[in-house]
Every structure is written in C-alpha cells, then in structure tokens.
Chains A and B, each alone.
Chain A
Amino acid sequence: MKTKHGFQKKLGQLVLDNSVPIMFIIICAVCIPLSGFSPSYLLNEVVTRMGRNTFLILCLLIPIIAGLGLNFAMTLGAMAGEIALILVSDWQIWGIPGVVLAMIVSIPISILLGLLCGKILNRAKGREMITSYFISFFMNGMYQLVVLYMMGPIIPIVHESIKLPRGYGIRNTVSLLNMRQSVDNLLAINIGGVKIPVLTFLLIALLCLFLIWFRRTKLGQDMRAVGQDMDVARDAGINVDRTRIVSVLISTVVAGFGMILYLQNMGNISTYSSHSQIGMFSIAALLVGGASVEKASIGNAFLGVILFHLMFIVAPSAGAQVTGDSMTGEYFRVFVSYGVIAIALVMYAAKKRRARSNAGQLLAEAQKQEENA
C-alpha cells in the first residue's frame, strides 16, 4: 500500500515537473489528426525546422547555467548575424564560403554586443531577464539606425539590388538565393522522402559536444557555481562579473551563428523583422521542451524544437478544420508561445517565493527549538 502511494506521488511529481511538455504532446496529439497532414510531410517539416532552429535554441543554455535566466538578448547575436549576411551578400560571396565568412564577420559584432549586454546585466543583477528583454528593444533601434542610415554612406554597400532606391539603407528583403540551403544541401541524404540535412545536424552535434565539454571546464564549473549562488562563488574566489559576461558573450556569438544557419535555410533576410521575434520563439521552444528559468538541458532544446514546431505546423490547418478559419490556428500558436513564457515566469516566481517561505519556516522552527531548550 505504501509502495503504491509512493509510486503515485512520484508519478504526480513527474507530471507536475513535465506539465508543459505533456500539455504540448496532448495539443499535438489532438491537432495532428485534425490537420490532415501525412506523417512523411510532418516528419520532413520537423526535420527541416530542427536544422533551422536548434542552434538558436541551444545558445540559451549557457546563460541559464550562469544563473542569468532566459537570455532575451540573444536577439543581439541574431542582429550581428544579419549584418554579417548583408555585408557578405553585398560582397557577392556565395555558397558555403559565404556562410563561413558571414559567421567569421559576425564574431566581432557579436562579441561587442555581448560585452555591452553582459556589462549592463552585471549592473542589473536579479533582474536579468527583463533587462535583457529591453536591451534587445534598445539594440533593435540601434540596428535600424545602422541598417537604415549608415549602410550606404558610412558602411559601403555597392549593389543597388540591396540598397533602397534613395541610395542608402537596406531594402526590406535581401535575397540569399546564392547561399540558400548551401549548408543543408551539402551531404544531405534522402530517407523515404525525408531530406536529412546531415551537415547542419553535424554542426548542431558539434555545438552539443562543445556544451557538454564546456560544462566540465573550469569556466563551466565557475558558471554553475555563479548560477547557484553568486555570493558563495565570489567567496570561493570566482570573478563573478567576468564569468557572467563570458556566458552572455558565448550565447551572443552562438546566436549569431544560429541566425546565419536559420537565414541560409530560409533563403532571404527580412532586414527589419527577421530578428525581432527570434528570441521570444527560441525561448518559448526551450520552455516547451521542459526547461525552466534556472535549469535547461540539451534534451530540453531538442524536445522543445520538435513539440513547438509540430504545434506550429499543424495549428493553422487544425484551426481551419475546426473553425473554418486558418487564422484561428495562427492566433492559437501565438497565444501558446507567449503563454508558455508567461507560465514559466510565473512558475519560477512562485517556486522562488515558496523556497523563501520554506526557509523562513525552517528558521522560525530552529529559533523556537533554541528558545525551548
């Protein structure tokens, strides 16, 4: 009887801990038959989107280890990637060399932005997420200033096809046709009508290996220590501020690479909007995979990208089947994306409050026992 009760408790805890992925599995299970898509189509889409988005989602892991929470400022890396791609596109470097060059060009821009972001976040300890969210808004304005007014007169842009007709600034859409899916198509294999972008997955695997290795390094251990308790880490001789800056820096550089992989898959840049929501949806995907503000793993990223994108693919079609209007599905997926972030933040706050209250109760009990003794 006791064993049965224990099992039920464990199961309840498991369900509670994984409530978000379970909810999404149920949503997908309901929506897939309604959407009417064939399994091979769904598999193809999910594989494509995994290749496109996983790199971006994985960039969020290091700041979580370092206790910075969800790095909404990964948008900064995305902007660096976009600027690099615009420049490479203007220099007419095509194919894989274009992608590699864009990644190299994005590194100094990402480092600069990451450094700035890390320094600001160090001045806003305990409020990192909301600060990083607003840094991304601020930098979006700076990005628009650079792309809209500086590209042309200050930063040389030669090709008229990229520039706005007025002679400066970048057009709304920049074509990446000459490097479109160059990474995805190299070494790609086709299994039962499903295209597997092997090279993209190899790059993702490399990043995963890097993350696993990094956690075991001295810096990685320092980040974990900082993430658990900054004061204890400082007392142990860890340079807390520097460690936090490095974590943001790595995240921003990886986000830049991720954005380049994402855009080479898409085949064009929406100059003024590609980056704007990327942070939000990458974070939503990670949370859907069962991650929280203070704990995330590579497995969460993979599960999240599968579930979130499966919902993304089937929701409009399922919405159209149920209500007769595909926009219902559109609204549903937007609602779910923002909703899951809100739930994660509320759960994080509630958990923190509960922990504080438990600690207070323990302290009160200890004091009471001391008085009685």
Chain B
Amino acid sequence: MKSKRVFLFRLVFILVLVAVAAVMLVIGRGHTVYFDNVELDYQGTTYETPYKLVIYTGGEEVAKLYDGERGMATCIGQSLDLTLEITQEKGGEEELVSVTLPLPYNMDGVVINLSAYLQDLPEEAYLSEFVPVVTETGDEEDVVIPGDDMMMGDF
C-alpha cells in the first residue's frame, strides 16, 4: 500500500514537472520581430506606406518608422500586442490603432510588413521569416579551449 502511494506520488510529481515544462515551452518562446514600413507589391497591386509609424509595446516606444525603414523588438510568447500611431501624410492627423499579432512558434525572427498588415492582407503577404546570415570568422572559431586552468576568472 505504502509503495503504491510512493509510486503514485512520484508519478504525479513527474507529470507536474512535464506539464510545467510544456507551459514554459509555450509561454517562454522568444521571437525577434522586425517591423517593416515598406511598399509592397502583392498580386499585382502596390500597397503604399503611411508617412510615419510609431510602434509601442507595453507602453514603451520601440520604433519610429518612416517610409522604407525597419524597426525591431523582442518578445516572449505566442503573440505580440502593439499600439501603432499612424500618420498617413506629413502634417496629418495621428491615428492610434491597437493590434495583436500572432507569432508562429517555429520562427525565431519574424518580419512583419506593417503597411500590408494594416491593409488587411493575408498572413502570407505581411509575414515572413527573418533568416540571419552567419558570418564565418575563420578557423580560430573551431578551436575549443577546455577549462583546466588554475585561474578563477570572474567567479
């Protein structure tokens, strides 16, 4: 009876740990989101950009984009809440828009064309993956230094 209880306790403990790990995998997924304010050609139509876009996340300004510019923000989770301050023309009225962008789990870097998004285009038009270019620094990167020295560094 006691061993059965111990077994059950251990099983529940392991299941709880697995569940917590699964939750962490979902809520902790980090993304780097790049915001583009660039003109887009989609299915033969050209979509113009607003004059200025100011992007806020969590009440903080993360980017101020004029035509042809790119901004960046990092976020944790599966969606990104943004507040956009849109100025269509120079000297024009500012319009505040709140949006929630769903972010694909499998993408580390997500490029979002905000002007396309604001025109209600489908996801394939406004969202793409950002693939960083890894610069090779030469053979010295391959040299691995196992730490068996006696010095302490910054312990």
**A interface list, Cβ under 8 A from B:** 53, 91-98, 100-101, 104-105, 107, 140, 144, 148, 159-161, 164-166, 169, 171-172, 178, 266, 270-278, 281, 312, 330, 333-334, 337-338
In chain B between 18 and 45, which residues have their CB closer than 8 angstroms to a CB of chain A?
Answer: 20-21, 23-25, 27-31
Q: Are B152 and A281 in contact (CB under 8 A)?
A: yes
Q: Are B147 and A100 in contact (CB under 8 A)?
A: no
In chain B between 125 and 155, which residues have their CB closer than 8 angstroms to a CB of chain A?
Answer: 132, 134, 136-137, 141-155
Instruction: Using A93-B25, A178-B74 as known contacts, list a sample of 9 further A-B pairs with CB atoms less than 8 Å apart, ordered by residue number in A.
Output: A53-B155, A91-B25, A94-B29, A165-B136, A172-B143, A271-B144, A272-B147, A273-B145, A334-B151
Q: Are B141 and A93 in contact (CB under 8 A)?
A: no
Out of A53, A94, A161, A272, which one reaches B145, CB within 8 Å?
A272
Q: Are A101 and B21 in contact (CB under 8 A)?
A: yes
A105 CB contacts on chain B under 8 angstroms: 21
Q: Are B17 and A104 in contact (CB under 8 A)?
A: yes
Q: Are A273 and B147 in contact (CB under 8 A)?
A: yes
Out of A94, A101, A172, A312, which one reaches B144, CB within 8 Å?
A172
B134 CB contacts on chain A under 8 angstroms: 160-161
Q: How far is the CA of A247 from the CA of B23 in the complex (A)?
A: 30
A271 CB contacts on chain B under 8 angstroms: 144
- 22 A-B pairs with C-beta separation under 8 A: A91-B29, A92-B29, A92-B31, A97-B27, A101-B25, A104-B17, A104-B21, A104-B24, A160-B134, A161-B132, A164-B142, A164-B144, A165-B137, A165-B141, A178-B74, A270-B147, A275-B147, A277-B147, A330-B151, A333-B152, A334-B151, A337-B152
B31 CB contacts on chain A under 8 angstroms: 92
CB distance from B75 to the nearest CB of A (A): 9
Q: Are B24 and A97 in contact (CB under 8 A)?
A: yes
Q: How far is the CA of A190 from the CA of B69 in the complex (A)?
A: 38
Say yes or no: A266-B152 contact (C-beta < 8 A), given A95-B30, A274-B147, A277-B147: no
Out of B25, B74, B136, B155, which one reaches A281, CB within 8 Å?
B155
Q: Are B76 and A94 in contact (CB under 8 A)?
A: yes
Counting CB contacts under 8 A, is B67 at the interface? no
Counting CB contacts under 8 A, is B48 at the interface? no
Q: How far is the CA of A100 from the CA of B74 in the complex (A)?
A: 20
Q: Are A277 and B30 in contact (CB under 8 A)?
A: no
Instruction: Name which residue of chain B comes closest to A97, CB basis.
Output: B28
Q: Are A107 and B147 in contact (CB under 8 A)?
A: no
CB distance from A49 to the nearest CB of B (A): 8
Q: Are A334 and B152 in contact (CB under 8 A)?
A: yes
Out of B137, B141, B142, B148, which one reaches A276, CB within 8 Å?
B148
Of the listed residues B23, B152, B153, the one surrounded by the most CB atoms of chain A closer than 10 A to its CB is B152
Q: How far is the CA of A276 from the CA of B136 in the complex (A)?
A: 28
A337 CB contacts on chain B under 8 angstroms: 152
Counting CB contacts under 8 A, is B85 at the interface? no
Instruction: Name which residue of chain B comes closest to A277, CB basis.
Output: B152
Q: How far is the CA of A275 from the CA of B153 in the complex (A)?
A: 12
Q: How far is the CA of A163 from the CA of B31 in the complex (A)?
A: 19
Out of A92, A160, A165, which one reaches B142, CB within 8 Å?
A165
CB distance from A139 to the nearest CB of B (A): 13
Q: How far is the CA of A194 from the CA of B152 in the complex (A)?
A: 25
CB distance from A115 to the nearest CB of B (A): 15
CB distance from B40 to the nearest CB of A (A): 28
CB distance from B91 to the nearest CB of A (A): 40
CB distance from B141 to the nearest CB of A (A): 5
Say yes or no: A312-B155 contact (C-beta < 8 A), given A172-B145, A178-B74, A273-B145: yes
CB distance from B60 to the nearest CB of A (A): 16
B74 CB contacts on chain A under 8 angstroms: 94, 178
B30 CB contacts on chain A under 8 angstroms: 92-95, 98, 178
